[in-house]
Amino acid sequence: MKKTSAVLLSSALVAVSVLGGCASKPDNAGGDKPSQASGEKPAQNVTLKFYNWNPDIAEAATQKLIANYQAKNPNIKVESIPLVPGNSVETLKKLDVTMSSGEQVDVVMFPSIEETIARAAQGVLAPLDDFYKKDNVNADEEYYINPKFKGKSYALMNNSSNWLVLLNADALKEANLPVPSFDWTWDDFRDYAKKLSKGDDNNKRFGAYFHSWGEYANPIVYTDKKNPFLTIDLKPQFEDASFKYFFNLRKAMEKDDKSVKPLADVIGAKLNYNNEFLTGKAAMLMTATFALPNIGDTAKYPHTFKTVVAPLPRSSKDAEPGLTNIGGNYVSVAANSKYKEEAYKFIRYMSTEQEARIELSGWKKSDSKLIVERLFGNMKDLIDMQSLTSTLYDKRVRTSVSSDIAVPYASQLKAVLEGGLSKVLLDNMSSEDAQKWMMGEGDKLIKQNTK
C-alpha cells in the first residue's frame, strides 16, 4: 500500500505561514507571457471557465482579481462559475457531475487537500510539474502545502486558513471573563461556554456553537496528530483517547450544560455558522481565518459587538500551547481542459496576487501582515486587531499535521468521524462503542481503497 506523497508541514514552515515573508514577485506570476510547458504557441482569445463556490464577498474579490488579470492578459478571459455559493460540499457534488459530462472545465477550486487528492486519484486533474519546470518554480518551497499524488503535483495552495476561536466582546464583558490566552484548554472552553450562555428558549444565547463538520467532532486530532484519521502506517486511529474525551465533552456541553445548540438542530435546520455567531445567537465560534471577512458584512449579518480572537484551546494542561489546524483551499487545472497552459498561468497568478484576496495567502512570499491590515484595518470597530494579530503571529503557532499522510479516501474517513459523533449525540451510543464502530468502518474503507 503506497502512501500519497505531499509536503511535510514542519513547525518551521508553519511559523513562516503566520509571520509572512517578503512580498517579492514570483517568476512569471501574471506576466504578459503565457507559461508554456510544451513549447506550443498559446491559444488566442481564450475563455477559461473557473468553477468554485464563491459567496457574495468572495465573488466580488474574484471579479476584481479577474479584471486585474485580464488587463494584463487581454487575450485570456476568465468566467467565474459559483456552482453553489457558500457551500463547498454541494459544489463538489455538482462539479464531479460537470467534469464527467464533457462540459468545458478549465480551473477548479477545492476546499481541502483531501478533496484535491481524491480528484487527482480519479484522473480528472492535470499534473503541474512541467509548468513548474518551465517557470523555474519550486512549489515545495514557495507554498506551505504542495498537494501530490504518486509523486506529481496537482494544485496550487491559494489560501491559508489558521483555525482559531472568535468571541463576542460584549458577552465576555457581561460574564466578566478575560480574553483567553494560549494557555487555555478545552475544559476551560467548556467553562467559558457555561458562563457565556444567557436566556432561554428562542431568546437564548448559547455559550458556543459547534458546526457539523468533522473538525468540530474532534479538533484535537486536527492539531495534535499527524493525520486526523490515520496513523503513520495508514491504520485507522479512531481508538485514540482524544475521541472519547472530546465526544464526552460535546455530550456534556449539549446535554448537561445546555451551552451549545444540539447537533440535531444544527443538522436539521442546516444552520449557518457565521449567522449563529455574528447575529449573537452564540458567544463563541471555533472557526478559521476564512470566516473573518464576514465580520464586516453587517448587511448580511447585522451586529454591533466587537469580535475578539483567541487561539484554539490546548488538548490538556500538559500540552504545549500554540498547536492549531492549518487548512486552505487549492486551485487545479482540469485534465480535459483544452487550455492547460493558460489555466496554469491563471491559477499561478491567483495564488500569488495580494491586492484582491480576502484571505491569507498560501504563497510563502506574501506579506501576511500587510494583507491582514488591508483586509481588516477598516473593521476596527468590529474586530479587535490586537487579539487577532497576537493569535496569528505568535511564534508558538504550529501544527503537528503532516500532509505526507494524505489519502484519496480521506473524505470518507472524515464521514466516519462525523458519524461517530452523531451516534453519541443522536443515538445515545457510548463513546467507547462509537469508537469501536469507527475503527470497524475505517478498516473497511482502507481495505476497499487499497485493493
Span 55-103, pLDDT tens digits:
988 999 999 999 999 999 999 999 999 999 999 989 999 999 999 999 9
Amino acid at 444: K
10 pLDDT exceeds 80? no
Question: Any idea which of 3-12, 148-157, 224-233, 394-403 has the lowest mean pLDDT?
Answer: 3-12
- What is the predicted pLDDT for the residue at 357? 87
**Phi, psi at 246, each rounded to 5°:** -75, -35
Amino acid at 98: T
Average pLDDT over residues 411-428: 96
Q: Which residue has the higher pLDDT, 104 or 202?
A: 104
367 pLDDT exceeds 90? no
143 pLDDT exceeds 60? yes
Report the predicted TM-score, pTM, of the whole model to 2 decimal places: 0.75
In terms of Cα–Cα distance, which of 17, 27, 117 is closest to 348? Answer: 27
- What is the predicted pLDDT for the residue at 150? 87
375 pLDDT exceeds 70? yes
Per-residue confidence band for 331, with pLDDT thresholds at 50, 70 and 90:
very high
Say if residue 19 is exposed, middle or buried (CB neighbours under 10 Å; 0-12, 13-18, 19+). middle
Average pLDDT over residues 205-225: 96
Average pLDDT over residues 251-266: 98
Name the helix (H) or strand (E) containing 162.
strand 156-168
Calculate what percentage of the chain has a pLDDT beyond 70. Answer: 90
Average pLDDT over residues 295-309: 95
Instruction: Go through the domains of the chain in sequence order and give each one's CATH number.
Output: 23-160+328-369 (3.40.190.10), 162-324+397-449 (3.40.190.10)
Say if residue 187 is exposed, middle or buried (CB neighbours under 10 Å; 0-12, 13-18, 19+). middle
CA-CA distance, 221 to 233, in Å (whole number)?
16
Q: Which three cell numbers stand for residue 252?
A: 456534556
CA-CA distance, 258 to 280, in Å (whole number)?
17
Query: How confident is the model over 90-141, as pLDDT tens digits?
Result: 999 999 999 999 999 999 999 988 899 889 989 999 999 999 999 999 998 8
